[in-house]
A and B are shown apart, each in its own frame.
Chain A
Amino acid sequence: MAKQTGRGFAAIEYPTGMNQNGDPSQAWIKVKPDGRIDVFAGTSDIGNGSKTIQSQIVAETIGVPYDWITYDNSNTDSSPVCTGTFASRATFVAGKAAEKAALAVRERILEIAGKELEIDPGDLEIVDGEVVAKGAPQKRISVPDVAAAATWGHGELITGTGAQLKPYAAIVEPETGKVDLPPHSAISYAACAAEVEVDDETGEVRVTRLVQCYDVGKAINPTLVEGQIEGGAIQGLGLGVLENCYPYYPSVDHRGGEFGSYLAPGMEDLPQIDTIIIENPSADGPYGAKGIGEMANNSQPPAIAAAVYDALGVWVTELPITPERVLRALEAKAAGEDAPKREGKKVVFDEALSVNAVSSGGMRFGVPA
């Protein structure tokens, strides 16, 4: 009896935005008399960091410091429509709406600055909160002075709105699944290697290391996207080896109703996590970003399952890979009962789990030998 180690690998993809699209997000922005920026959006921040990301996009797009931004997503009276924070859409879809609103505000600031400086707005740019004439940087006016001039001099409110909506992609052939438009905003890609240590006496699987690579399009905030990836990895680890609402699924017996009987990952379960970020910009995300919030927990379970096979020579394809399942698989292997069934050119694993073994005939799956 010993601790066995193994390595496994998986590569995945995941769509940004609601499947089939048709999910709008909107934003509007107003400028205070001293040039500070108020952003209103309906995007709930569920810990994904969308307040931060959208504030960064607005600051960058207008050309003012990040700490000039106030972000208000607090209520439906002041905030416009956002379909919601799900489907990895908050950065891509809602962030794009914020970018569009910020572009409109930038244009208004340049218009009013043009009047103040008597320069064509097209010859002006905004850098670090200052409107500057291109090629003649001594000609300048600060964004606070532009906002003050708009408020007290021109009698105008500087505001801007933005909306992002990709049209609904219909399934035009239900028989084949063919769609008339791309059903996603973008697709993100990731790969993951897992290292495990398995105790072949107790069956316990310990994930010791996860090495992960994500194509995020553009890391708007590298710290936050790393946080998503690492947090997702732990959720994926839970899915892989710990968590189960129904320990004897499909039975509903022994359902855990407390933290003592439902095993979510804790600090003691954390492996070493290495993160590699690739930036292949998406065609129309804000600054090339894609959404990776959800896929961050998709790659670990298959990488862990492959690592367990590497360590022990058994496949556990029901999740989570609990000590009980590992030990049963080892028993089956010792009894010579784990080998796939070979029939002609077919190699059939997991026969006992198949609908063919459980259904009394209502459902069948299979291919001719």
Chain B
Amino acid sequence: MKAVGARLPRYDGVEHVTGRTTFVDDVRVPGTLWVKALRSPVHRADVKRLDTSAAESARGVHAVITWQDVPLLEYGHLSGLGIPADEPLLAKDDLRYKGQPIALVAAESEDAAQAAVEAMTLDLDEKEPLLDIRKAFDPDAPVIHQWGNWYPHFEAEMDRRQIRKGDIEKAFADADTIVQGVYRPAAIEHVPIETQVCLVVPEASGRLTIYTCTQALYFSMGVVAAHLELPLNKLKLVGGTVGGGFGGKVDTATETMCALLALKSGRPVKWRWTREEEFLCSSTRAPWHMEIADAVTSDGWILGRKMLTLHDSGAYARFSPYGLTKHSFHHTGAYTIPNLEFDGFVVFTNRVPTTAMRGFGVTSVSFAVETHMSRVAEVLDLDPYEVRLKNANRIGDTSPNGVVYTDPSTVPTIQAIADAMGHELPADYRAMSRHVREGALLPQHLVAQVGNPEAH
């Protein structure tokens, strides 16, 4: 029998559909303490005073932690790639978004923990938040981040992610028409059925067993080990079966804090976010602002593209520099455009940090590029399938960053949908393939780039 290619039953399907899978919150350990968080009530403020003494002496409370309890307060999601950290595990001097964790309590019940949180005193000096990424660059905009309002791209020593290819000015001069538009997909929530949850058990051996819903066991282990300044043999992460993630559980949102509380209290601790916390305090997909101007010919060739992208990172960088770079690599979509000028900025605002979500960096640009393609076809009064087939990536074409495509399938997927929808294509479009360009499909503006990564 063949296993690959077979419609075999899901490995853990029966456990899932009969409700017998053990997720993190199904693990119950005697003596477990429960966690609640003091979170920022405002979008932006300086912390004038935080007094947790009433919480520490409250009934049933075994541990309270603030930023002072974290051995390494700042460790970035992209520190492994050499990108500096900007986000404290628990807020220190200033608050950058509503919902930001400031202090945590471990107590004998969730109610006791919540009561202790409410007993804390927090004095703030509230500040004007920055919310519109389009205004972040203005001289009168409040400066809300230690790096300025947009990410400095340390690794590139530039304040933006940039793509330059070909001769953009010539492309726009040669164009018959220039089509320009603005595209703004929204922030959305990951909405996993299982909200963020973690259980940490301090073992007699001195190790910590961390029951986690992370999408990335080893990544999260590295994050915890870095904040706690521990070698990996002190940690055992238990997980691997996640109740929905969609990118939001790459953030290591709870594990380190629970580990600190377990160490401080000497007791197992569990933190399970309410649905309201999941909606309001967990990271979201980023809102993006994209502007595209395409230089096109009247018969539907795209000679060049200028694009500006502003990526709303929220209060901290997290994975956003990675997401913007990926975005820039794919800003021509499934098409070959030889003349490019792309500028992208990761912009900080006073909203919940945005993070990875299914399609990270590219979902946005797919929406922008494809809606723009439909508009180009409409402006030129051409068939939207034909405009796409003409410009489609072919074997031998080069990408925005100089990589030769080896197996693009833009043409066959478009033809398959045309067939399925009964959309008739002219014979020359029907005969197109993904193979190397030639004849009428190799106009002058595409000749130099075929098979040539140096044509840049």
Q: Which residues of A contact B (CB under 8 A)?
A: 7-15, 19-20, 42-47, 49, 51-52, 55-57, 59-60, 65-66, 71, 73-77, 79, 81-87, 128, 171, 174-179, 182-183, 186-193, 211-215, 218-224, 232, 235, 238-239, 243-246, 249-252, 255-259, 262, 264, 274, 276, 278, 280, 282-283, 287, 293-299, 301-303, 305-306, 309, 315, 317-320, 340, 345-350, 353-355, 358-363, 365-368
Contact = CB atoms under 8 A, between A and B. Distances in A.
Contacts of A299: 366, 370
Nearest to B288: A319
A14 B359 contact: yes
Contact of A15 (B10, B326, B412): B326
A325 B17 CA distance: 39
Given A245-B189, A298-B367, A302-B370, 6 more contacts: A44-B240, A56-B8, A79-B217, A221-B6, A262-B279, A302-B373
A211 B415 CA distance: 12
B416 A276 contact: yes
Contact of B417 (A20, A193, A224): A193
Contact of B242 (A45, A128, A244, A319): A45
A245 B374 contact: no
B428 interface: no
Listed residue (B138, B246, B366, B420) with the most chain A CB atoms within 10 angstroms of its CB: B366
B367 A319 contact: yes
Nearest to A358: B134
B186 A76 contact: no
B11 A55 contact: yes
Contacts of A365: 291, 293, 306, 308
A117 B298 CA distance: 73
A257 B276 contact: yes
Contacts of B4: 56-57, 60, 218, 220, 287
Given A44-B240, A46-B245, A348-B180, A9 B417 contact: yes
B204 interface: no
B137 A298 contact: no
B284 interface: yes
Contact of A191 (B98, B328, B417): B417
A348 B6 CA distance: 51
24 contacts: A7-B421, A11-B417, A13-B408, A45-B242, A47-B244, A52-B9, A74-B238, A177-B164, A178-B401, A189-B413, A215-B412, A224-B10, A250-B287, A258-B279, A262-B191, A278-B416, A359-B135, A360-B140, A361-B138, A362-B136, A363-B136, A363-B137, A363-B310, A365-B306
Contacts of B358: 232, 235, 293-294, 296-297
Contact of B363 (A56, A298, A361): A298
A263 to B, nearest CB: 10
A177 B329 contact: yes
A84 B218 contact: yes
Contact of B275 (A259, A358, A366, A368): A259
B134 A255 contact: no
Interface stretch (B58-66, B86-94, B154-162, B263-271): B154-162
A305 B367 contact: yes
Interface of B: 1-12, 43, 98, 129, 131-141, 153, 156-158, 161-165, 172, 175-189, 191, 214-219, 221, 232, 235-247, 249-250, 275-276, 279-280, 284, 287, 289, 291, 293, 295, 306, 308, 310, 312, 322, 325-326, 328-330, 333-334, 342, 349, 351, 356, 358-363, 366-367, 369-371, 373-375, 378-379, 384-385, 388, 392-393, 400-403, 405-410, 412-414, 416-417, 420-421, 423, 434, 456
A47 B213 CA distance: 12
Given A243-B186, A262-B189, A368-B172, A42 B217 contact: yes
A245 B214 CA distance: 23
Contacts of B371: 10, 301-302, 305-306, 315, 317
Contact of B217 (A44, A56, A215, A282): A44
A70 B250 CA distance: 26
B374 A9 contact: yes
Contacts of B245: 44, 46-47, 85
B351 A317 contact: no
A178 B322 CA distance: 16
Contact of A8 (B8, B140, B374): B374
A350 B306 contact: no
Contacts of B218: 42, 76, 81-84
A276 B414 CA distance: 11
Listed residue (B3, B184, B407, B434) with the most chain A CB atoms within 10 angstroms of its CB: B3
A107 to B, nearest CB: 18
B150 to A, nearest CB: 10
B7 A221 contact: yes
Contacts of B401: 171, 176-179, 183
A366 B275 CA distance: 43
Contact of B178 (A9, A59, A297, A347): A347
B184 A319 contact: yes
A293 B163 CA distance: 27
A166 B26 CA distance: 37
B330 A211 contact: no
B9 to A, nearest CB: 8
A215 B185 CA distance: 25
A360 B135 CA distance: 7
Closest 10 CB pairs of A and B: A84-B216, A362-B137, A302-B370, A174-B156, A73-B240, A350-B182, A215-B409, A189-B409, A19-B326, A177-B163
A238 B188 contact: yes
A216 B413 CA distance: 11
A297 B362 CA distance: 10
Given A222-B7, A243-B186, A294-B359, A47 B242 contact: yes
Contacts of B136: 362-363
A353 to B, nearest CB: 4
Contacts of B384: 9, 306
Nearest to B400: A177
B7 A317 contact: no
A254 to B, nearest CB: 12
Given A44-B214, A360-B135, A360-B140, A219 B188 contact: no
Contacts of A318: 183-186
Given A213-B413, A213-B416, A297 B363 contact: yes
B79 to A, nearest CB: 14
Contacts of A358: 132, 134-135
Contacts of A243: 186, 188-189
A217 B142 CA distance: 49
Contacts of A188: 409
A350 to B, nearest CB: 4
A213 B417 contact: yes
A320 B367 CA distance: 11
Contacts of A52: 8-12
B249 to A, nearest CB: 7
B164 to A, nearest CB: 4
Nearest to A24: B218
Nearest to A43: B240
B182 A49 contact: no
Contact of A255 (B163, B280, B407, B423): B280
A355 B289 contact: yes
Given A86-B215, A211-B421, A362 B374 contact: no
